[in-house]
Amino acid sequence: MTETPAPTTEIGDQAAYAAAVQTAVTASAAYYGARHSTLDDDAFDRLVRGIAAYETAHPEHVLPDSPTGKVAGGAVIGDVPHTVPMLSLDNVFSADELESWAAGVARRIGRDVGTWSVEPKLDGLAISARYTGGRLVQLVTRGDGAAGEDVSHGMGMIVGLPEELAEPVTVELRGEVLMTRDQFEAANEARTGAGGAAFANPRSAAAGSLRAKDRAYQVEMTFFAYGALPMEGTDEPLAERLRELPYSGLMELAAGLGARTVAVTPVPGTTATTVEAVLARVQEIAALRADLDFGIDGIVIKADAAADQADAGLSSRAPRWAIAYKLPAVEKITRLIGVEWNVGRTGVIAPRAELEEVELDGSLVRYATLHNAADIERRGLLLGDHVTVYKAGDVIPRVEAPVAHLRTGDEKPIEAPEVCPRCGDEIDRSQQRWRCVRGRDCHAVASVRYAVGRDQLDIEGLAGSRIDQLVEAGLITDFADLFALDHDQVIGLERMGETSTANLLAAIEAAKAKPLNKVFCALGVRLTGRSMSRRIARHFGTMDAIRAADAEAFQEVDGIGPERASTVVAEIAELAPLIDKLVAAGVTMTEPGAPARPAAGSADEADEPAAEPADLPLAGMSIVATGAMSGPLDGLSRNEVNELIERAGGRASSSVSAKTSLLVAGEKAGSKRAKAEKLGVEIVTPEEFAARVAAYL
C-alpha cells in the first residue's frame, strides 16, 4: 500500500483563515445534511488540517465556529439527545503517524495496549438504533454528537437492522447506514424515474434517503453495527456485560442479536497485538477495497479492551483510543468540460467524459466512462457540471452524477450525435447502446487490428500502420481478406521488400491453423471475449455447431444468460458472410480436444450426447491466476495461463469469489491473494499448479 503524506491546505493569513472556516462549516452542514457537500472528502480533510495548523500557529485568531475540535465539523443537526455522545474519529495518513498515535495511547494509559481491533471505515451515515424489549423503537442520526435527528420513519428500509432482535433485550446499537453499489444504482433509477435529480454518490444517497419523510419511491439501504451500549431500561447484568466486553466481543454480541456487522463481508473485523500486525491488516483491507460492493475511506483501529478504552478517555470530539487510517481518495469532485462520442470496432457508439484533471487513487484522471446516451439522460448531466468521479484500484474511472446545487446557470445540454460520428451514416437507437447501422464496416481498421492481435490470430508483421495501408489500398475490408492476399499485392505496399513480404504471407498462412477459440475471438462477437470464446469453442467443438445453436443452446455455456445468448446468436447471424469467407479460405473451424457436438437438426443429433471431459484434472473448477508466474509457467501471458486452465478442464476467472476453487498466486499476488485467504480458497504457487497440469503444458 502506498504511504500517503498528511494532506494540508496552506492558509497564509487571517482573512484566508476566516474564509476557510466558513467554507468548512458550510461543507460540513451539507455533508451531514441531506445535500451533497461542495467539497469531496479529500478536499475537506486538507482544509480542516490547514485550519488546525493555522490555529496552532495563531491561537489568538481562533474563531468560535471553527470546525476543529467539534463533532461533524460543527454542523448542528437534530435535537434528540444521545444517551452517550456519538463522537467523530481523528485521522492519520501514514504508518509513521499511526505508530506515533499508538505510542501516545500507551503513554496515556501507562502501558502498551494489549489488543487492537482493526476493521474498515465505512463511508456512510452514523446512526443510533434504540431497542426496547427487543423491538426497534427509534433511529437517531449522530448530528453534532450531543444530539441528532429522529429518522425513525426509515425503519423497515434498512437491511441488517432488524425490527426485532433475536432476544427481547433493551439496548442501543450504533452503526453506519450506507448504500451498496447495487442499492445506489437502484436508488438513482427510482429517484430519476420519479422526476428527481440523480444522487451524487452512495453516501449522499443514504443520507438524503434516510432523512426524507415523504417520497414517491422506495429505496433500500444497509446497516453495519460498530457499537452496543446500555440505555435506560437495560437490565443490570446486560448493562454490566456491555460495559466490560472488549470491542470484538461487542461485535459478536451485536451479530448474535441479529444485526449485521462487517464479519459477513470480505473485510471482517480482526484483532492484532502489535502495531506491525495492525499495519499488515491495514494493507490487507486496503488491497481489497476495489472489490467491495460498498464504499470505505479508511481503516478504523481501536483499543479492543474496555479497560484500555476507559483509561485512554475522550477528547471533545473523538475517543483517544480509536483512530481512522485514511486511504487515498477514490472519489473527487471535478468539472465536466466535454463529451466525446467514439465508435468501437463493432460499431457501438460510446460517450466518454472529458474532465478537468483530478488526482484519484494515486493517478491523474482526465477521462471517465459515461456508458451510453440513456445513462447521460438518466443522470441529468450537463456540460460544465461539477460531477463526482469514482475510481478504485484498476477500475476505469466513471462519472457518478452531477452535484446539482453547484450549478451556476451557465451549464449546457450534452448534445448527442444525430449521425454516426465516424462515417456519417444513421444510428441504430433501438437499444441503450447505440450502434452505427454499418456495424463493423464502420470501423474496419479497428476490427482487423483486433482480429490479428496476440490473443486472437497473432499474425506477426501486421502492425497498425500496415493494416491502414491495406485498407486504404482497398486490398482488405475485413480480416478474412488477409487470407486472399498474394505476393504482388503485398510487395507493392510502401516499405515492403521480398523478405518482409514472404514473412508476412507465411504468418498469415500459419494463422489458418489457429484453434476455433482463437478464430471465434477474432470475430469480435459482442458480449464475448477471450475467456468466453474458449468456453464457447470447447462447448460446441465446431463452428458448424456454433452457427446452428439457438439462444437456448448458448445458455448451456457457463456464464451465458438469456440476454447475452440472444445477442450472441444475432451477432453470429450478422457475421455469416465473414465466417463463410474464412471457411472458404481454409481457416480452422474446430477446437482440438473438445467433445464433438452435432449441429442442431443433423442426423446425429438424436444420438447419445458427447461425453464431457470430466476426467480432466481441473474439471468443474473455477481458477484464478494472479501475480508474476514462475517455474514452468515463467514467460506465459495471463491469457496463455487461462488457456492452459481451460485445456485442463477448468474455467479461468479474473476475480476471486466464494465460487473460486483455486488461486494460482505468483509474486506480488496482492488483493486477490488476501481475498482468497479470507474466503478460505485453496492457494497454490505457479510451480505447484504446473505440476497438476503438466500433461497440458
Query: Catalytic site residues?
Result: 121
How would you class 46 by CB atoms within 10 Å of its CB: exposed for 0-12, middle for 13-18, buried for 19 or more? middle
Joined together, the cell numbers standing for residue 579 give 465466417
Query: Which residue, among 244, 243, 262, has the nearest Cα to 252 in the 3D structure?
Result: 262
Beta-strand pair 331-343/386-390: antiparallel
CB contact at 8 A, 222 and 260: yes
Which letter does DSSP use for residue 542 in this model?
B
Contacts of 231 (CB under 8 A, 6+ apart): 83, 130, 170, 171, 172
Q: How far apart are CA 338 and CA 355, in angstroms?
A: 7
Q: How far apart are CA 74 and CA 499, in angstroms?
A: 76
Amino acid letter, 592: P
Q: Which helix (H) or strand (E) holds 586?
A: none
Q: How far apart are CA 413 and CA 494, in angstroms?
A: 46
Buried b (16+ CB within 10 A) or exposed e, 229-262: bbbeebeeebbebbeebbbbbbbebbbebbbbbb
Beta-strand pair 427-428/91-92: unpaired
CB contact at 8 A, 679 and 671: no
CB contact at 8 A, 50 and 44: no
CB contact at 8 A, 7 and 328: no
CA 60 to chain centre: 46
Q: How far apart are CA 20 and CA 295, in angstroms?
A: 28
> Is 131 strand, coil or helix?
strand
CA 280 to chain centre: 22
User: 118: which strand partners?
Assistant: 270, 301
Query: Which residue, among 95, 261, 232, 240, has the nearest Cα to 171 in the 3D structure?
Result: 232
Q: How far apart are CA 655 and CA 20, in angstroms?
A: 44
CB < 8 Å & 24+ apart, contacts of 550-557: 550/600, 553/600, 557/532
CB < 8 Å & 24+ apart, contacts of 568-572: 568/525, 568/526, 568/527, 568/528, 568/536, 571/525, 571/526, 571/527, 572/525, 572/546, 572/547
Beta-strand pair 349-360/147-148: unpaired
Beta-strand pair 158-159/171-178: unpaired
Q: What angle do CA 375, 380, 383 make, to 5 degrees?
A: 100
Cell 485550519 sits at which residue?
51
String of DSSP letters for 87-107: ----EE-SHHHHHHHHHHHHH
Which letter does DSSP use for residue 610 in this model?
P
